[in-house]
Structure 1
Amino acid sequence: MSSKLTRLIDVAKLAKVSTATVSRVINNSGYVSAEVKERVLKAIEELGYQPAKAARFLAKSRQNFKISIVADDWVLKSITTALDEFYSIVYKGIIDFSKNHRMSIELQDISSWDRGVDGFLLMGGGITKELVKEIKDTGKPVVLVDQYIPGLKVDCVVSDGYDGAVFAVDKLISKGLKRIVHIHGPLSHFGFRDRYDGYVATMERHGFMPRTYEFDEISDNMGVIIDMMLRNYGKPEAIFGSNDTAAIRAMDELKIRGYSIPEDVSIVGFDDIMSASLITPKLTTLKIFKYDLGSIAARRLFNLLMGEETHPIKISLFTQYIERESTI
């Protein structure tokens, strides 16, 4: 038995784990709890187990990393004020992972980001191709969160909006609904574009004509959209919103105009923010696992900081259909 293998076994015995767990810690592959990882690192130090890879890993694992979350004003405001909404939960996932991995987090606006950090999490649809290129040029690790920009080959973590839209529209059609309208956010945001594409593809696959309207959440043009839809298209049988905010606002405006939900119009949202289960009727929606979106993005950045698995990847989380009261 080689001395290297013997010492690996000694580390495992001292840390009271398997040799496979020691290898996972050194190679930063697979899940190991923070408590177990700490025991292994201490055993490595105590026994002086210093093959080149372990030495490099140990040095990095003791480093405190300074991380910048870069986002536009709207996302930053969501993080700091909307405790039950989308980006605040994504942010919590990032923070909880970071606490156990020596990563300190600071929030920065897209117009004033700091080059003097160790890595970047770029969050939301306000992240542009130009900004990603500029930050990537710093040579620091970068992960996009809830955004994907084709052609850049930059690590990203997103929800699978296309799959979610296909499932939702198929579900509505299976109930005999054909006149299904999609109200979406700006299509420059990958998430909205992904859901839009899934909606259009599914409608066309069934031989139905897609009908879409763009909702501006900041100016809130939903009243104008509903009036235009009713005047030019007529009453839809269902509305699929690209997020819960759009779906809820559509519901509000239809109620004002005397329509009943879901008897007159079925409505489906996307995100499953807390408000979705508190309104009347409760909103049917596609649940995005927002906390996981944040924690997985933070974990991916940590891997890059450790120099492990550095080939860029796109991680896409499937959604879950949550059927409530707003659909027949």
Structure 2
Amino acid sequence: MSAKLSDVAKLAEVSTATVSRVLNKSGYVSKKSREKVMLAVEELEYKPSKVASFLASRKLAFNIGIVAGKRLFRVLSDQSDQFYTIVLKGIEEFFAGNNMRGSLVPSNNFSEDYDGYLLIGGEITEEDIKKAKETKKPVVLIDQYLAGVKVDCVVSDGYDGAIYGMKKLISKGLKKIVNIHGPLSHFGFKDRFDGYISAMEGAGYLPKAYEYDEDNDNMSAIIDLLLSRYGLPDAVFGCNDTAAIRAMEELQARGIKIPEEVSILGFDDIVNSSATTPSLTTFKIFKHEMGVVGSRRLQSLLIGNEPRPTKISLFTEFVQRESTL
């Protein structure tokens, strides 16, 4: 195990603040104490954190542009979104402890005044990334991945979650499983959709999917079409909790019992998912961690650490509640 700053301080019989002053060459330290610190560093083979050293030498905070598409910028501005508001809190908490500050800006505002950018959400396009890169500043995507663009990103592993969820439903004897998803230009929806298709085809069952327009709420029309053309499904898999909850509401409004007649599975684990009747079985996305991990990755890029683009994928967690058998 590598030595820590506190180990150096203990061996040198000085405070950690004194060790920091010696290593950062800042402030007064007596010759005797300085020599004791350097001997302890050599004996323990202590290697200072590149991040810590950089931040200690920096007088001003990094100024970060937190960029969102038009719709997401609107809902984040009034904190009405149950997903990205938590992502944003993770970002803000990391910034507070790491000499960084951020401003929420719309996707048409790529000012060179920012030291770097966090681009969040499925509305982010290749054109947005191109504009951000033109500023020559580091860029990290959160909850969005665009194939072939090769830009740093942090996403949840929806494909793995969908595979796991379908296997759970199929193991209960459910075969007619319908997927209701958002726009497939959003990586999260596409990833979960692909997992659903793979699991259904792998089990020898026919996939059936419908696209949900959350802004115009076309769920009533989807359920009418589903029941008239496909019949009563065994289960509905919503690619996010909002779609799953709306599907459950529309099915219940037509006298269909959940989960006795149709099981409902969601994705995201937003706050409302545990308050539905019955409570929604879903997958927990670690939203706060996505914000923290994305911010940490941007920090590494800002100090020139590990510069090659990286795709970081966080696994989800299955949350069994009452809406599935």
Band the TM-score falls in, shorter-chain normalisation: 0.7 to 0.9
Q: Output the CA distance in 2 between the equivalents of 1:74 and 1:12.
A: 47
The aligned counterpart of 1:322 is: 319
**Are the counterparts in 2 of residues 80 and 88 from structure 1 also a CA contact under 8 Å?**
no
1:152 paired with 2:115, answer: no
Please give the TM-score of this superposition, normalised by the length of structure 1: 0.85
Verify the 8 A CA contact 1:119 1:142 in the aligned structure 2. Answer: yes
The percent of aligned pairs where both chains have the same amino acid is: 52
Query: Alpha-carbon deviation of 1:144?
Result: 0.1
- The more displaced of 229-238 and 73-82 is 73-82
Inter-CA distance 142–231: structure 2 relative to 1 (3 Å threshold): same
Of residues 275, 280, 289, the one that matches 1:278 is 275
1:211 and 2:208 matched? yes
Pick from 185, 190, 203 the counterpart of residue 187 of structure 2.
Answer: 190
Superposed CA deviations along residues 152-190 of structure 1, whole A, max 9, x for unmatched, are: 110000000000000001100000000000000000000
Preserved CA contact (<8 Å) 2:110 2:135 = no
Classify 1:281/1:10 alpha carbon distance in 2 versus 1 (closer, same or farther; 3 Å): closer
Aligned to 1:65: 62
1:245 to 2:242 alignment: yes
Q: Does residue 114 of structure 2 align to residue 117 of structure 1?
A: yes
Partners of 1:270 and 1:287 within 8 A in 2: yes
SS at match of 1:213: strand
| Residue deviations 1:242-263 (CA, integer Å, cap 9, x gap) | 0000000000111111111111
Q: 1:122, CA displacement in angstroms?
A: 0.3
**Corresponding residue number in structure 2 for 1:25:** none
Matches of 2:20 and 2:54 in 1, distance apart? 9
Q: Distance in 2 between matches of 1:246 and 1:11?
A: 50
How many angstroms does 1:113 deviate by? 3.2
Change (3 A) 1:314 1:223: same
Query: Does structure 2 conserve the Cα–Cα contact (< 8 Å) formed by 1:284 and 1:326?
Result: yes
Kindly report which structure 2 residues correspond to 1:60-139, keeping only aligned pairs within 5 A, or say none: 61-82=58-79, 85-139=82-136
Give the unaligned 5+ runs of structure 2: 39-46
Q: CA separation in 1, counterparts of 2:110 and 2:79?
A: 23
CA distance in 2, matches of 1:10, 1:206: 51
Task: Report if aligned partners of 1:61, 1:306 keep a CA contact under 8 Å in 2.
Answer: no
Give the number of equivalent residue pairs.
301
Query: Which AA in structure 2 matches 1:165?
Result: A
Return the offset for 1:287: 0.5
Alpha-carbon distance in structure 1 between the residues aligned to 2:196 and 2:214: 20
Find the counterpart in structure 1 of residue 160 from structure 2: 163
- Identify which of 154, 174, 177 aligns with 1:177: 174
Shift of 1:136: 1.1
In the alignment, what sits opposite 2:231? 234
Give 1 or 2 for the bigger CA radius of gyration. Answer: 2
**Structure 1 residues 60 and 73: alpha-carbon distance in aligned structure 2, compared to 1, 3 A threshold:** farther
SS at match of 1:270: coil
Runs (5+) with no aligned partner, structure 1: 1-8, 19-35
